[in-house]
Amino acid sequence: MLREGQFALDLLLPLDREAGRLHRQIEQGLRDAIRAGRLVPGTALPSTRSVARELGVSRGVVTEAYAQLVAEGYLVARQGAPTRVAEAPEPSAPGGRASRRPSPAPYDLMPGRPDLAAFPRDQWLAATRRALRRMPDAALGYPDARGTPELRDALTAYLGRARAVAPDPERTVVCSGVTQGIVLIARVLHERGERAIAVEDPGFHLHRWSLERAGLEPVGVPVDEDGLDVGALAATGARAVLVTPAHQMPTGVVLSPERRAALIAWADAVDGLIVEDDYDAEYRFDRGPVGALQGLAPERVVYAGSASKSFAHGLRLGWLVLPERLATAVAVERLALDGGAPVLGQRARAAGLARGDLDRHLRRTRREYRFYAGRRCSPRSPSTRRAPRSPASRRGCTRCPPARRRGRGGAAQRAGAAGVAVQGLGALRVTSTGRPGSCWATRTSRSRRSPAPSRPWAPWPGPEPWRRRRTAVQGR
Ligand SMILES: Cc1ncc(COP(=O)(O)O)c(C=O)c1O
């Protein structure tokens, strides 16, 4: 990628003096570089004088090319400042390709994001500076693939206190989010001969997809108001299950005490494994805190958590607490994958956790999120007013009125057309047997007016590879 301050030669503009008008060739070369992303938005171009000198053409030729690209919206010129690549080039010339950036929905209620504007930047900056200053040289070597001892100790203290996890730093593995943790576990299970894993239906489609990619077949099990249906789970024949007990994703229900006991009894009976995704556990406003399932059966349950819902998903910071029989194998997988997490971030986080950064951040954001917790996405719609309230947390499911006419699309599609970005439940279902017309939305929103283009679960530029219907539910 070309960056600011490079000279004309670095623009790699091919000029063929026999091939016609030179300014057109320069224009086309720059246009291609911008479209291909070789020249990124905001890049300052060299002056017309220096480009002319490098290319051996008159300055007027380059000036004409720049002026044309400014007129087309590819470049921005300001007096006294270098000409720059436009922030979001919107070609206006005939035949120009339309920008593929999605335009932001005016009201962005896409779930799954914390309030990123609340991220405590100063705190993290100070913690990172301190960690770097105090880090001995030896700590810059290859880390323990499970995570630095300081971070595993700090996590142990926090998870034991706040989530009732039965903690053990020797069985803790730092990973880049719950998603990577799930992949590590799936690989170990696959190596040990497992071929299927039960998952909640509806449930998080990207984790199903990750499981599949690691060689396990996800088998959907229905969820009701008490959480996962353990009877239906037993009928699947699977010996491993992925659950979200503290906040079922997406319905928001909590796994009831009876179901918790039944789930652990099931795992004992089949010598199985429960993977507990402690999704969104920090933000419940309708009840007291629900402790982690892992604390009840540390040898049957893998605990998986991350900073994605409390701080920011872009941090890619997560952790696993494992049963003894899996701890070494999962650490070996992590070692094989990438050698472990970067040490500087780990040391900064360890110090931050020990100083109570997470507790302070949770107190602050809970106040904000509580405000939105009881709200619906569409208070003016009579049919959403009649819908049963989903549990008070910062995300919730809302039943939407059916389309009046055929072909108007699903609830999320129609909401999108009206300028409200929400997540339809269709993608989250394993089977297509659920009721149509539900959508899932966040209620947290400083982003009531979207600050940025909305990116529905698509950290992926092309067609979404996880969009494939999965195995039918057994025992339903
Ligand atoms: C059910 C569920 N679990 C966990 C996560 C967080 O995953 P990660 O920690 O990999 O960001 C998400 C993300 O939205 C999720 O939907």
CA of 279 to the centre of ligand 1 (A): 7
Residue 73: predicted pLDDT: 87
**DSSP string computed for 59-111:** HHHHHHHHHHHHHHTSEE--TTS--EE-SS----STTPPPP-SPPPPSEE--S
In CATH, what number is assigned to the domain containing residue 23? 1.10.10.10
**Best of 228, 277, 278, 303 to mutate for ligand 1, by most ligand atoms within 8 A of CB?**
277
CA of 428 to the centre of ligand 1 (A): 13
Question: CA 61, CA 129: separation in Å to the nearest integer?
Answer: 49
- Using CA atoms, how far residue 269 sits from 101, 265, 300, in Å, is 51, 6, 11
233 located within any domain: yes
Dihedral sign from CA coordinates of 283, 311, 367, 115: negative
Residue nearest to atom 7 of ligand 1 (CA): 178
End-to-end Cα, the chain, rounded Å: 53
- Give the pLDDT of the chain (476 residues) as one tens digit per residue: 433 333 444 677 778 888 888 889 999 889 988 888 888 888 889 889 988 888 889 999 999 999 999 888 889 988 888 899 888 644 444 444 444 555 566 676 777 778 888 999 999 999 999 999 999 999 999 999 999 999 999 999 999 999 999 989 999 999 999 999 999 999 999 999 999 999 999 999 999 999 999 999 999 999 999 999 999 999 999 999 999 999 998 888 999 999 999 999 999 999 999 999 999 888 877 777 789 999 999 999 999 999 999 999 999 999 999 999 999 999 999 999 999 999 999 999 999 999 999 999 999 888 888 776 655 444 344 444 433 344 445 556 766 666 666 655 667 777 777 777 777 777 788 875 444 445 555 544 333 344 443 343 344 445 555 554 443 333 33
Residue 251: predicted pLDDT: 87
CA of 242 to the centre of ligand 1 (A): 12
Question: CA 65, CA 51: separation in Å to the nearest integer?
Answer: 11
Whole domain around residue 45: which residue ranges?
8-85
The count of structural domains within the chain is 2
Q: Which residues line ligand 1 (CB under 6 A)?
A: 112, 177-179, 204, 244, 249, 277, 279, 306, 308, 313, 318
**Best of 207, 247, 311 to mutate for ligand 1, by most ligand atoms within 8 A of CB?**
207
Residue that finishes a domain, picked among 360, 393, 416: 360
Residue 404: predicted pLDDT: 63
Owner of token pair 């319905």: 251
* Closest ligand 1 atom to 305 CA: 9
* Closest ligand 1 atom to 176 CA: 10
Residue that finishes a domain, picked among 34, 64, 85: 85
365 located within any domain: no
30 located within any domain: yes
Co-location of 151 and 49 in the same domain: no
Both structure tokens of 449 = 């007016």
412 located within any domain: no
CA of 100 to the centre of ligand 1 (A): 27
- Using CA atoms, how far residue 230 sits from 241, 259, 260, 294, 413, in Å, is 10, 7, 9, 17, 33
283 located within any domain: yes
56 located within any domain: yes
CA of 440 to the centre of ligand 1 (A): 15
CA of 249 to the centre of ligand 1 (A): 9
Residue nearest to atom 16 of ligand 1 (CA): 204
* Closest ligand 1 atom to 316 CA: 11
CA of 394 to the centre of ligand 1 (A): 15
The answer to whether 320 touches 303, Cβ cutoff 8 Å, is yes
CA of 396 to the centre of ligand 1 (A): 16
Co-location of 124 and 76 in the same domain: no
90 located within any domain: no
